[in-house]
Amino acid sequence: MSGLPKSEAETALIETARRVLPAGTFGNFAADVVIREGRGGRVWDESGNEYVDFLLGSGPMFVGHAHPAVTEAVLAQVPKGTTFFANNAAGIQLAEAIVEAVPCADKVRFVSTGSEATFYAMRIARAHRGRDRILKFEGGFHGMSDYALMSMAPKRPANFPQAVPDSAGIPAKVRDEVLIAPFNDLETAVGIIREYKDELAGVIVEPFQRLLPPQPGFLEGLRAITAELGIPLIFDEVVTGFRFAYGGAQAYYGVTPDLCALGKIVGGGFPLAAVAGRDELMVHFDKDGVAEDAFAPQIGTLSGNPVAAVAGLATLAVLRRPGTYERVFETGRTLMAALDETLRGAGFAVQVVGEPPLFDVLFADRAIHDYRATMTADAGLLRRFNALLRPRGILKGESKYYVSVAHDAADVQQTLDAWKEAAVALRRQAA
């Protein structure tokens, strides 16, 4: 439990959830907290407990909860209709904004979830190349499709390039269609790509994998080998799109893929995601632009719906305001430095990993650059540290601090105080 007092109403909701939902949850966050509302960088549970929110809905609420500009846009649209299964002005305008912002984007196709976006990006690569196999990187998260749930978090990693299914219910044959390479090991990745070049449809990678920044030259090397061999390079920017820079991680790191998947921020907190990419790949969505056997149909009931589109447009307008990204990065740098100093000062060996808008701490005594290195960190210490934060008014997931535009000096100070108290308590537990 969170350690904060629970009202009878919240307790009753938790009991109801356990009765009607598997594990008592939507499959996302812990069952013992029910969020009532959010404003700016904070949320309140059904008992009225207040938290500095670093969960941010798992990332979409980059401009903060209930931002006035986003709320105004949504309230103006809802009386006009919420979905039409047809083009609408806001969706067209959002696609134009994405094309203007994202380096690889000539065209955009909307879907409703990040899982759909990565799934369709891989399908388009297959349609374009006329081949089946996809190479992904161990530890990379690309949503919930069968292809994505290969070696995302294997407890017993296999020899590269063998894939390990992460879920029950995945057909055994899917394993043979996915190759696995180590993140940040360019030599091994290039070797696998060259060996399987005649079978590969595409290479998909999070340019910033979960919490791990790319090592210098890694993304550039992937771009070079895939361009040389004519293999589409897909960036999964569901998390990083519009977070690290207005043009996403591809603008931030200076490497342009052929396709990308976008989500979270681009929908302004509503169900909207997208595939974006070069004309020669995106044309496979156009039945009049390619041969019949190269057409990849994509239909989604809520794709590009006007409520999500106006929320996305309003969010992007906020992000274009001068100083927005500078402020987020300043907040993130302050937090990262303080977290490192606090835990090291308490006697723990730690690595604070990530980029200022998105980071976390790993209890490890050496640098962490790939999935297998993360497995050497003390996951138990991290769980105990996280558990000490919620009673102190800090909400975060099992991993990741998402920093928002809305987090202010008071939020930062409360977080620093909570970290100091939690570090002392953790030290006592570990003694």
Class of domain 68-319 (CATH, top level) = alpha beta
Cα–Cα distance, 402 to 52 (Å, whole number): 11
pTM: 0.96
Mean pLDDT of the chain: 96
Q: What's the fold here for domain 8-66+322-430?
A: Aspartate Aminotransferase, domain 1 (3.90.1150)
Residue 258 and residue 277 in contact, taking contact as beta carbons nearer than 8 Å: yes
Residues of the chain with confidence (pLDDT) below 50: 1-2
Give the per-residue pLDDT at 1: 41
Q: Which residues contact 155 (CB under 8 A, 6 or more apart)?
A: none
Which percentage of the chain shows pLDDT scores above 90? 97
Give the per-residue pLDDT at 431: 72
Residue 114 and residue 204 in contact, taking contact as beta carbons nearer than 8 Å: no
Give the per-residue pLDDT at 3: 66
The closest alpha carbon to 368, from 383, 349, 345, belongs to 349
- Which ranges constitute the DSSP H helices of 320-368? 324-345
Q: Where are the domains of the chain?
A: 8-66+322-430, 68-319
DSSP secondary structure letters along 98-113 = HHHH-TT-SEEEEESS
Give the per-residue pLDDT at 338: 98
